[in-house]
Amino acid sequence: MKFVSFYLFLFTFSFSLFAGEEGGWHSSGGELFKDAHNPWFVKNTNTIKYCFEHDQSSFSANRATVELEISKAFNYWQKEFEKSSVSNAVGTFNLGSQRIEQVSCGVETDIVFKFGYGTLTKKEIVHLVKPEKYIGVTIRKEYDPESLKGQGIIYISSDKGVHRYENPDGNLISFAWKNSKLLLFALIHELGHVYGIPHSGNGVMSQIFLDQLLNKYLVESFLKLPLESFLQPNTSISSCNLERKIKTFVFNLSPNENCIRIDVKKNGDYNLFAVNDKKETRLIGFLKGIYPELWDVNSRPASILQITKKQMVFTPKQTGFRNFMYGPVSLDQGYRGTLMINNSLPRAVYLKVRSNSFAIYGEYKKKTQPLFIMQSPLSILLLKEPIL
């Protein structure tokens, strides 16, 4: 397919210094190219072809690690999109339906992952002005307004040698990519941009995420952190953060059972399991009769597709005759339901389900209070005072 001839570079910044702010000028929105933040791939792209280049001398992670973490980052997003890909409604589009294929770098490659300064071309260096200012950056180089397909690079900065990422305040750790998990977090963030997800919230797509990730006061916590969901909660949720009396008198757990796991059933109900110190599980009850409260819904599209005039992918009927479409939605919602714990009377409860947290509220000792809370570990980490 023919790509547009002009060489359009587009940034999604992942570092605190914005080239656009230099000289005091700064514009928010109103970009010349309205499709600038579109996902690079929609339903007409069957396969995403990617390759990687690796500058061993300036990058702490080796080739095998880099290769593995790229595939993990793709898996992360595909899993997220699978959970939320429910929509054939007018004006909406799905993401992540493509097969992912690693190829040798060439003109047909959709995404070139570049690890370390030595992989950058002269033109890319000129464009980035000072690549050392970035921990990671995604550049869309081409966008075909007919097929709505993009092409570009994800650059992860060197962490050693003269061109390593800048650390002017001394707050960042050195040799970050010795930790493959940090590399994975960085790749997930940048790949999120490829899927059209802008900076938002305080999680993995936050504007300052990469700065936080490599912050020497936060990095230890990041290394311990599980990967959390971004769009929709996982279908299995655990928490060991249980108040002692509630654990005993509401959930009827025995002293060696300190955690609860909640699994979503196909019909929308939930199974509750006690988990003991040996990680053995026991079914303790159900959440049933769950129905959403219409006043307690907040839906946010994770990605928006600006429809170009020339596009040949969606029919006017599919776009709803609009010049934009909504991608997968992150849904915060409240539900009423009934908690049925073995050998106890049913209890009316309220569920607060967020993309990365889950809570059950109910009455205990004549007060409405949280009975079960699974908080976003990332949010907790970012709200915590640093350990100096």
212 binds Zn ion (CB under 5 A): no
Q: Which is nearer to Zn ion, 192 or 362 (CB)?
A: 192
Q: Which is nearer to Zn ion, 262 or 378 (CB)?
A: 378
Q: Which is nearer to Zn ion, 191 or 218 (CB)?
A: 191
Q: Minimum CB separation from Zn ion for residue 356, in Å?
A: 18
Using CA atoms, how far apart are residues 42 and 195, in angstroms rounded to an integer?
9
Q: Which is nearer to Zn ion, 12 or 38 (CB)?
A: 12
Q: Is 144 in contact with 3 (CB distance < 8 Å)?
A: yes
Q: Which is nearer to Zn ion, 115 or 358 (CB)?
A: 115
Q: Minimum CB separation from Zn ion for residue 136, in Å?
A: 7
Tell me which stretch binds Zn ion (CB under 5 A): 12-20, 118-126, 215-223, 291-299.
Answer: 12-20
Write the CA distances from 286 to 41, 128, 340, integer angstroms.
Answer: 40, 54, 5
Tell me which stretch binds Zn ion (CB under 5 A): 7-15, 127-135, 311-319, 377-385.
Answer: 7-15
Q: Minimum CB separation from Zn ion for residue 191, in Å?
A: 10
Q: Minimum CB separation from Zn ion for residue 327, in Å?
A: 17
Write the CA distances from 203 to 212, 221, 383, integer angstroms.
Answer: 10, 14, 11
Q: Is 168 left (phi over 0), alpha (psi -120 to 50) or beta?
A: alpha
Binders of Zn ion among residues 103 to 162 (CB under 5 A) are none
Q: Minimum CB separation from Zn ion for residue 302, in Å?
A: 14
Q: Minimum CB separation from Zn ion for residue 12, in Å?
A: 5
Using CA atoms, how far apart are residues 385 and 271, in angstroms rounded to an integer?
36
Give the residue among 362, 33, 376, 79 at the shortest CA–CA distance from 202: 376
14 binds Zn ion (CB under 5 A): yes
Tell me which stretch binds Zn ion (CB under 5 A): 13-21, 97-105, 151-159, 279-287.
Answer: 13-21
Q: Minimum CB separation from Zn ion for residue 189, in Å?
A: 6
H or E stretch covering 367 = strand 367-374
262: three-class secondary structure by DSSP: strand
Q: Which is nearer to Zn ion, 12 or 356 (CB)?
A: 12
Using CA atoms, how far apart are residues 164 and 53, in angstroms rounded to an integer?
16
45: three-class secondary structure by DSSP: coil
Q: Is 341 in contact with 176 (CB distance < 8 Å)?
A: no
Q: Which is nearer to Zn ion, 80 or 257 (CB)?
A: 80
Tell me which stretch binds Zn ion (CB under 5 A): 4-12, 29-37, 294-302, 378-386.
Answer: 4-12
| Per rule CB under 5 A, count of chain residues that contact Zn ion | 2
- How would you label 104-136 residue by residue, b for 16+ Cβ within 10 Å and e otherwise? eeeeebbbbbbbbbbbbeeebeebbeebbbbbb
Q: Minimum CB separation from Zn ion for residue 352, in Å?
A: 28
Q: Write the DSSP string, 8-36.
A: --EEE--SS--GGGGGG----S--SSGGG
Tell me which stretch binds Zn ion (CB under 5 A): 5-13, 97-105, 163-171, 340-348.
Answer: 5-13
Using CA atoms, how far apart are residues 86 and 293, in angstroms rounded to an integer?
20
Q: Which is nearer to Zn ion, 74 or 134 (CB)?
A: 134
Q: Minimum CB separation from Zn ion for residue 14, in Å?
A: 4
Q: Which is nearer to Zn ion, 115 or 372 (CB)?
A: 115
Q: Which is nearer to Zn ion, 141 or 336 (CB)?
A: 141
Tell me which stretch binds Zn ion (CB under 5 A): 8-16, 25-33, 145-153, 244-252.
Answer: 8-16
Query: Closest CB to Zn ion belongs to which residue?
Result: 14
Q: Is 178 in contact with 160 (CB distance < 8 Å)?
A: no
Query: Which alpha helices (DSSP H) does the chain contain, by range?
Result: 63-84, 122-128, 180-194, 209-213, 219-224, 244-249, 316-319, 377-383
Q: Minimum CB separation from Zn ion for residue 35, in Å?
A: 18
303 binds Zn ion (CB under 5 A): no
Give the residue among 307, 309, 329 at the shortest CA–CA distance from 318: 307
- What secondary structure, in 3-state letters, does 307-333 show? CCCCCCCCCHHHHCCCCEEECCEEEEE
Where on the chain is the footprint of Zn ion (CB under 5 A)?
12, 14
